[in-house]
Amino acid sequence: MATAASRSGRRGGDEEDDERTAAMRRLRVLSLHLQDPSPSSEAGLAPAACAAAGRRRATGGADAAAALAAYLRGRHRDTQARVFEFFLSRPDLQTPVEMSTAAHRELCFRQLCALVREAGVRPLSLMANDPAEYFAVMEAAGGADISLGVKLGVQYSLWGGSIINLGTKKHRDRFFDGIDNLDYPGCFAMTELHHGSNVQALQTTATFDPVTDEFIINTPNDGAIKWWIGNAALHGKFATVFARLILPLQGKGGDPADMGIHAFIVPIRDLDTNAVLPGIEINDCGHKIGLNGVDNGALRFRSVRIPRDNLLNRFGDVSRDGKYTSSLPTINKRFAATLGELVGGRVGIAYSSVGILKVSVTIAVRYALLRQQFGPPKKPEISVLDYQSHQHKLMPMLASSYAFHFATRYLVDKYSEMKKTNDEDVMADVHVLSSGLKAYITSYTAKSISVCRESCGGHGYAAVNRFGALRNDHDIFQTFEGDNTVLLQQVAGDLLKQYQEKFKGGTLSATWNYLRDSMGTYLSQPNPVTSRWEGEDHLRDPNFQLDAFRYRTSRLLHSVAARLQKHSKTLGGFGAWNRCLNHLLTLAESHIESVILAKFIEAVKRCPDEKTRELLKLVCDLYALDRIWKDIGTYRNVDYVAPNKAKAIHKLADYLSYQVRLVAQELVDAFDLPDLIIRAPIGMQSEAYAQYTQHVGF
């Protein structure tokens, strides 16, 4: 127990704690009357709450939202606005609530063609010249219809990206313009029926024929059928096919030599008639849980011949006489380089997932402000967002939306830097960062959409209010471009690699730099002296928050490294990894949370407008303390947080949720999402009930 002397200089003393407890009791009562706080009620509020309420009335909610929106707005908001305006001007291209799979696919392709050929957007050129603008277009297109955003991603991130990143000049000269203007719609044929995440185990073969100077693409068994291939069922004319490159007679004893997984351009339909080409069988994967505007198909190849030049040969090539050459010495290094160039898809998914979270939170918060249920005896009903339980559901989620916004903006900037510089360290950083953020954010968004639906009660179940479509369309984000569990293991694996480097005296990559100091703190000071500090100034100090996040990551890293070393002696490397798998996943999530918080704190500090900075600081504090509270058991188990401090964190997180509720309208309005993107009647800024009743025919 702390001595009186040790606590005398802090705001966490007994007297102040009593005052704070009394203030919290008053706040719980007064929260029922704070839909529009009156001057007389402010006397009972804590000073910070009074200041927040006063600022809202003095400056106006619209002004606060506008200032915050201006700070959130990216460099390419004007590009997004043009996309929004284009679809707003074309009702024939707006996706209705109900339609068949066939109609949705046809509409989605028309939407993409119109965006490219009528609106004049050239996504592949954007991706090559300014990836940040490309991702802004993808987010805007996904706002119009998530299927459109995904179909655009298949065409440009995957099919086009494979040409840019895995091919050489001859491929770009031949295909770039046709992909950009949609003359060459294409597919990305990696996944097979029996293999998805384990790409190195793909079974499709590409055998070189030195007589004809061709590769022969073959599906050796049903398990090797290419499956879930976007654009394949209807619209794709080409496919980038990932297959094992086989060189006859060049292995030991004259056996065929397997050179590992390579990518090949395979025409699959006639450019003029759209007829499926000989030797290729295409079947439709059918109706899905969501994303039914995307035509997923299955491909089988029966000795399909393609020219040798159709090998995407940036990392490995075959000469006319059948000799293999590569600047990379091993199959594993070539494979890593190949997959490393395809991280753009993960970047886009993480970025788009944040956009979907913003839409969901906006609908839920606006409806919670509108909906009134129950209240004090003989008093008007109150907004459901005035209930603490509703704040607990939605306010941390709103704070997370802001945190993810800044984290994914940082990710896009790092990706753009990678494409400009080709710096190997930046590439490694982006690979792991994109894996972690894609996995963490998409999992969080998937859970949050269901919470938003529940928070809107029965009206959240109406298809027109969008939660069903948002949930179903987004759900697969957790799986494609890398299963989330697999991606988190990549993050954990890299952390362990960095951990080894630390003790070998090596340098750490930029994102992992904090581990040097944090691991040193853990090893030398397992029981921090700050464990009992509970004053509000301390708990809202970004240094305390970030240190707590990073301490947890460092402790998890050190402990899992010890466990792996112990179990590998009896179980081997694979067995030890599997024995510690849940520990490793927790480690990866902890690290990603540290990165997200760090980027949020940096964004708060960069904000030039004082009032906007104060508002962002409030949201950032809620994000940090809510996350600490949700994992308070970890901190308690290692005595990083004493019982009194844990209680103070809980109280303050609840209080910050209440404060964020006071500015929730401004916070969602600052996302600056037009009605075309929100679309749900209950999520409209005005006359929500009127629009809802009109929709059903009144």
DSSP 218-269: E--SGGGSEEEEETTTTT-SEEEEEEEEEETT-SGGGPPEEEEEEEEEEE-B
Task: State pLDDT tens for residues 110-164.
Answer: 999 999 999 999 999 999 999 999 999 999 999 999 999 999 999 999 999 999 9
CA atoms of 452 and 458, how far apart (whole Å): 12
- Residue 507 is predicted with a pLDDT of 53
pLDDT of 2 strictly over 50: no
What phi, psi does 590 have (nearest 5°)?
A: -60, -45
Q: Residue 697 pLDDT > 50, yes or no?
A: yes
d(CA 397, CA 386): 16
Helices vs. strands in the chain: H and E counts, helices first: 28, 11
What CATH number belongs to 186-341?
A: 2.40.110.10
Range with the poorest average pLDDT among 245-254, 261-270, 314-323, 455-464 = 245-254
Q: What rounded mean pLDDT belongs to the chain?
A: 88
Which pLDDT score is estimated for 12?
A: 43
Structure confidence by residue, pLDDT tens digits, 333-343: 888 888 887 89
Of 36-45, 178-187, 608-617, the least confident: 36-45
User: To 5 degrees, how large is the angle CA 202–CA 180–CA 91?
Assistant: 110
Nearest CA to 229 out of 299, 161, 279, 160 is that of: 299
Q: Report domain extents, the chain.
A: 60-166, 186-341, 345-683
Question: Which pLDDT score is estimated for 523?
Answer: 54
pLDDT of residue 696: 85
**Greater pLDDT, 57 or 196:** 196
The answer to whether the beta carbons of residues 451 and 390 sit under 8 Å apart is: no
Give the integer Cα–Cα distance in Å for 301 and 206: 10
pLDDT (mean) for 472-492: 95
What integer pLDDT is reported at residue 468 of this predicted model? 97
pTM of the model: 0.88
CB of 231 closer than 8 Å to CB of 295: yes
pLDDT reading at 42 higher than 80 = no
Name the pLDDT band for 486 (thresholds 50, 70, 90): very high
With 80 as the cut, is the pLDDT of residue 517 above it? no
- According to the model, what pLDDT value does residue 1 have? 38
Could you report the per-residue pLDDT of 220-248, keeping only the tens digit for each?
A: 999 999 999 999 999 999 999 999 999 99
pLDDT digits (tens, 9 = 90+) for 393-418: 999 999 999 999 999 999 999 999 99
| Residues whose CB falls within 8 Å of the CB of residue 96, separated by 6 or more in sequence, listed in order | none
pLDDT for res 527: 54
Query: Would you state the pLDDT for residue 227?
Result: 97
Q: Are strands 304-307 and 317-318 parallel, antiparallel or unpaired?
A: unpaired
Q: Which tens digits make up the pLDDT trace of 358-371?
A: 999 999 999 999 99
The b/e string for 279-290 (b: 16+ C-beta within 10 A; e otherwise) is: bbebeebeeeeb
Task: Find the radius of gyration of the CA atoms of the chain.
Answer: 27
**Per-residue pLDDT at 530:** 73
CA distance 373 to 383: 6
481 is catalytic: yes
Whether 542 has a pLDDT exceeding 70, the answer reads yes
Half-sphere exposure of 313 (CA within 13 A, CB side): 14
Strand boundaries in 594-644, DSSP class E: none
SS3 content of the chain, % helix, strand, coil (to 5): 65, 10, 25
CA distances from 335 to 162, 229, 332 (A): 14, 21, 5
To the question of domain 345-683 being in CATH 1.20.140.10, the answer is: yes
Q: Poorest-confidence range of 310-314, 421-425, 643-647?
A: 421-425
- Residues ≥6 apart with Cβ < 8 Å to 649: 534, 539, 625, 628, 629, 632, 641
**Given the residues 481, 534, 593, 666, the one annotated as active site:** 481
Closest to 354 (Cα-Cα) out of 69, 136, 631, 71: 136
Q: Percentage of the chain with pLDDT > 70?
A: 87
Q: Residue 522's pLDDT is what?
A: 55
Beta bridge partners of residue 280, listed in sequence order:
301
Predicted confidence at residue 499, as pLDDT, reads 83
As given in the structure block, the two tokens for residue 648 are: 């103070």
Distance CA 200, CA 410 (A): 30
**Is 240 labelled as part of a ligand binding site?**
no
CA distance 528 to 658: 30
Choose the weakest-confidence range: 42-51, 284-293, 329-338.
42-51
State yes or no: 191 annotated in a binding site: yes
Does residue 41 or residue 318 have the better pLDDT?
318
Q: How does DSSP classify residue 373?
A: -
Residue 19: pLDDT above 80?
A: no
Which tokens belong to 344?
Answer: 């753009």
| Residue-wise pLDDT tens digits, 245-268 | 999 988 888 899 999 999 999 999
**CB 435, CB 595: distance < 8 Å:** no
Supply the pLDDT for residue 596. Answer: 98
